[in-house]
Structure 1
Amino acid sequence: MKDPPHVLQRLYFGDTEQSKHFLSNIRRYNSMFCFTSLGGRIDRSLNTGNAPPVFRISGQNYHCIGSLVPIDGSMPKFVQLYIYDTDNEIKNRINSVRGESNLGDINEEIVVKLKNMLDQNNVLVNYFKMARTEIQSNPVIEVKMNLIGKRNKDGRTYNLPTAHEVAALIVGDIDPSMGDLDILIETRTGQLKRINQLNPAYLPLQYPLLFPYGEDGYREDIIFSDAWRQCHPRGRIRISPKEYFSFYIHEKVNEKHTLLYSRRLFQQFLVDAYTMIESARLIYIRTHQKALRCEAYQGLSDALTRGELDPAARGKRIILPSSFTGGARYMIQNYQDAMAICKHIGYPHIFITFTSNPKWPEIERYVTHRGLKADDRPDIICRVFKMKLDAMIEDIKTDKLFGDICGGI
Structure 2
Amino acid sequence: MSTIKCVQCKRDKSVLDYDQDRHGAPRKTCQSCLQCQREQRRVRAESRQIQANQNIERAPIQPVGTIAPLAFISSRLYWNRLELGNMNVVCSSCHALHWLGECVGGTAAAPTFQSCCKKGDVILPAIKRAPPYLQYLLESLDTIARQFRTNIREYNGALTFTSVKFTADNRPAAQNGGITCFQIHGELFHMQGPLQPAPNTTPCFAQLYFYDPIYASQIRHSAHPRLNLEILQRITAELNTVNPFITLYKTAKERLDSLPAGESNARVLLNPQLQLIIESDADKRRNNLPTSYEIAIIIPDEYDQAGFRDIVLANRNPDPNTAFSIINPNHAAYMPLHYVLLFPNGDLGWHWSLQLRNEMQLRKNLRLSQRAFYRYRLHSRVDEPRTIFQAQRLFQQYLVDAWAACDQNKLNWIRLNQGQLRSDLYNDLSDAMLRDDFSAEQTGKRIILPSSYSGGDRYMQQLYQDSMAIVRHFGRPSLFITFTANPKWKEITDELLPGQSPVDRPDLIARVFHLKQQQLLQELVMAAMWFGYARC
Q: Give the TM-score taking structure 1 as reference length.
A: 0.84
Once the two structures are superposed, the pairs formed by residues 2-401 of structure 1 within 5 Å of their partners are: 2-43=128-169, 46-47=172-173, 50-83=177-210, 88-96=215-223, 98=224, 103=225, 105-133=226-254, 144-150=267-273, 165-168=274-277, 175-176=285-286, 179-180=306-307, 181-184=309-312, 185-187=314-316, 189=318, 190=320, 191-227=323-359, 230=360, 232-234=362-364, 236-299=365-428, 313-367=442-496, 369-400=497-528, 401=530
Q: Residues of 1 paired with 2:440 and 2:482: CA distance?
A: 43
SS of the aligned residue for 1:23 comes to helix
Aligned length: 378
Q: Counterpart of 1:81 in structure 2: which amino acid? A: L
Q: Residues of 2 paired with 1:357 and 1:256: CA distance?
A: 28
Which range moves more in the overlay, 176-185 or 133-142? 133-142
Q: Residues of 2 paired with 1:117 and 1:36: CA distance?
A: 19
Question: Alpha-carbon deviation of 1:44?
Answer: 5.3
Question: Alpha-carbon deviation of 1:347?
Answer: 1.3
Question: Alpha-carbon deviation of 1:8?
Answer: 1.7
Identity of aligned residues (%): 34
Gap regions ≥5 residues in structure 1? 151-164, 304-308
Q: In 2 relative to 1, CA 203–404 (structure 1 residues): closer, same or farther, beyond 3 Å?
A: same
Q: Residues of 1 paired with 2:498 and 2:357: CA distance?
A: 31
Q: Which has the higher strand share?
A: 2
SS of the aligned residue for 2:399 comes to helix
Q: Counterpart of 1:52 in structure 2: which amino acid? A: I
Q: In 2 relative to 1, CA 279–225 (structure 1 residues): closer, same or farther, beyond 3 Å?
A: same
Greater gyration radius: 2
SS of the aligned residue for 1:41 comes to strand
Gap regions ≥5 residues in structure 2? 1-125, 288-304, 433-437
SS of the aligned residue for 1:63 comes to strand
Question: Alpha-carbon deviation of 1:343?
Answer: 1.8
Q: Residues of 2 paired with 1:311 and 1:353: CA distance?
A: 49
* Cα-to-partner distance string for 1:211-248 (whole Å, 9 max, x where unaligned): 11122111111010133xx25332x1011110000001
* Cα-to-partner distance string for 1:83-138 (whole Å, 9 max, x where unaligned): 36877311211233x3xxxx2x3111110111111111111011223345557778
Q: CA RMSD in A?
A: 2.8
Q: Counterpart of 2:325 in structure 1: which amino acid? A: K
Q: In 2 relative to 1, CA 188–204 (structure 1 residues): closer, same or farther, beyond 3 Å?
A: farther
Q: Residues of 2 paired with 1:60 and 1:41: CA distance?
A: 8
Q: Residues of 1 paired with 2:220 and 2:518: CA distance?
A: 48
Q: Give the TM-score taking structure 2 as reference length.
A: 0.65
Q: Residues of 2 paired with 1:226 and 1:132: CA distance?
A: 42
* Cα-to-partner distance string for 1:237-295 (whole Å, 9 max, x where unaligned): 01111000000111011221200111100000000000011011111111222222223
SS of the aligned residue for 2:221 comes to helix
Q: Which has the higher helix share?
A: 1
SS of the aligned residue for 1:239 comes to coil
Question: Alpha-carbon deviation of 1:168?
Answer: 4.4
Which range moves more in the overlay, 250-259 or 179-188? 179-188
